[in-house]
């Protein structure tokens, strides 16, 4: 399969701009036609509400595809940078070259979007691609395979299903580029495998994304937006707020407002709400259930193993050494910790691995400038949570332990292409200053030209 993709890439077919545009158009049509199937697959895998399935999966992919479709002709144009006087007479071009045959490994929490959004960039740049969806979202994985295999030739796009062994087999192949979304632990394995073939890659990982609530914050808005960002998809979001640091005097009021928002969003019994997703499988349910024992429960805490249900839960100040404060939660459990001084809170954040996201709630510009200027993180929001991911013009990616590389919009096109520089020299004149024999006069002239 991979050899067939290599041969197809070498034929030059995917480099043709019209081929790429037609492929993007087809993918848009395929996804629109399969809308009901998408909702059903996501419901069966994660009990994902239709609204969440659209805004965070299908709609997000379509928006990204339409942006790429509308801008690809412009992005594909060669750049013509200016050159120093020393290169006269000459010209230069920078063109975006596809890598070749690429591998996209996607996770289970947003199984459609995190497989097909990178694919949009791979197609736009002119690559062939192999997609490895997560076996932990089997219905969505099967749907992706069906949609791709029925509408695109396998030498252009292919889907490989399976578990760890299938992933290991794929990683052993000499792909030209790898795009991985998943945990930091598995990201290290992927990077090690890529290193054996010197394969460039993008890693979209996770981490503990903090949420800071400062004294001037509007608590009603903060509570509403934190609750929405945290419990969207039952907390199974790589950029969900992982813990809240709140100014001590606001702890009680914020918790009460968050409790009220949970009731408003999901009712007195969220298990009966059609708008609340479920935990992906039993292993993750057991992992998350253990976290419930690591702090005082302020709200929630109920669970049902048979239904893979864990209630939206607020935990009061777990110990810093507890698992819930050391590991990425990736579920509907939110520790809330008070702080007396903003510098103290920022120090807590800086002492942890650099997070994928950071959220700040404040009405003071100096506070915003201080936080954003002193903490390193992948991306984030001021006075909102997780919404930056949906802005397709904004590059999305991590830093340090939360990954490297970025995608969305133009960055997706750039992620899957190499900027190739070519210098073109004129032959009608040949300035002799660079050639031996060298002299002090030549050196003086070169210094004058370079400055």
- Residue 33 contacts by C-beta under 8 Å, 6 or more apart in sequence? none
- Among candidate residues 372, 411, 377, the one with its CA nearest the CA of residue 391: 411
- Residue 252 contacts by C-beta under 8 Å, 6 or more apart in sequence? none
Kindly report the backbone phi and psi dihedral angles of residue 435, in degrees, each rounded to the nearest multiple of 5, phi listed first.
-95, 150
Round to whole Å and give the CA distance between 48 and 131.
Answer: 22
Known catalytic residues?
204, 238
Report the relative pairing of strands 357-361 and 210-213 from DSSP bridges: parallel
Phi-psi region of 304 (alpha: psi -120 to 50; beta: other; left: phi over 0): beta
- Residue 274 contacts by C-beta under 8 Å, 6 or more apart in sequence? 49
- Among candidate residues 258, 359, 274, the one with its CA nearest the CA of residue 313: 258
Tokens of 414: 């750039």
Round to whole Å and give the CA distance between 122 and 161.
Answer: 19
């Amino acid at each position: 399969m991979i050899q067939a993709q290599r041969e197809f890439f070498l034929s030059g077919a995917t480099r043709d701009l019209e081929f790429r545009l037609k492929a993007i158009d087809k993918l848009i049509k395929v996804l629109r036609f399969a809308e009901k199937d998408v909702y059903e697959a996501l419901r069966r895998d994660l009990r994902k509400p239709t609204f969440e399935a659209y805004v965070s999966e299908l709609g997000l992919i379509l928006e990204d595809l339409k942006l790429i479709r509308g801008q690809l002709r412009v992005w594909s144009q060669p750049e013509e940078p200016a050159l120093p006087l020393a290169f006269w007479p000459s010209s230069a071009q920078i063109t975006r070259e596809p890598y070749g045959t690429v591998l996209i490994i996607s996770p289970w929490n947003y199984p459609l979007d995190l497989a097909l959004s990178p694919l949009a960039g791979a197609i736009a740049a002119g690559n062939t691609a192999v997609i490895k969806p997560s076996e932990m979202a089997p219905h969505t994985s099967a749907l992706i395979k069906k949609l791709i295999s029925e509408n695109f030739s396998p030498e252009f796009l292919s889907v490989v299903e399976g578990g760890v062994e299938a992933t290991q087999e794929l990683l052993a192949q000499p792909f030209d580029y790898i795009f991985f979304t998943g945990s930091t632990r598995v990201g290290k394995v992927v990077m090690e495998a890529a290193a054996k073939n010197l394969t460039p890659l993008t890693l979209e990982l996770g981490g503990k994304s903090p949420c800071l609530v400062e004294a001037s914050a509007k608590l009603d808005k903060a509570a509403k937006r934190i609750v929405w960002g945290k419990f969207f998809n039952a907390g199974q979001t790589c950029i969900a707020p992982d813990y809240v640091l709140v100014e001590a005097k606001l702890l009680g009021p914020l918790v009460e407002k968050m409790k009220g928002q949970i009731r408003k969003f999901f009712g007195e019994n969220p298990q009966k709400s059609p708008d609340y997703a479920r935990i992906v499988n039993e292993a993750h349910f057991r992992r998350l259930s253990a976290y419930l024992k690591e702090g005082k429960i302020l709200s929630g805490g109920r669970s049902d193993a048979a239904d893979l249900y864990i209630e939206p839960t607020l935990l009061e100040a777990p110990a810093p050494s507890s698992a819930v404060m050391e590991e990425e939660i990736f579920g509907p459990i939110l520790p809330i910790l008070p702080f007396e001084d903003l510098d103290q809170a920022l120090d807590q954040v800086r002492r942890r691995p650099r997070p994928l996201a950071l959220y700040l709630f404040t009405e003071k510009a100096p506070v915003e400038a201080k936080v954003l200027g002193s903490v390193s993180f992948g991306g984030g929001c001021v006075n909102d949570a997780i919404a930056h991911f949906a802005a397709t013009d904004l590059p999305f990616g991590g830093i340090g332990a939360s990954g490297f590389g970025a995608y969305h919009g133009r960055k997706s096109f750039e992620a899957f292409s190499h900027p190739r520089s070519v210098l073109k020299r004129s032959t009608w004149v040949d300035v002799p200053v660079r050639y031996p024999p060298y002299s002090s006069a030549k050196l003086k002239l070169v210094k004058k030209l370079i400055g």
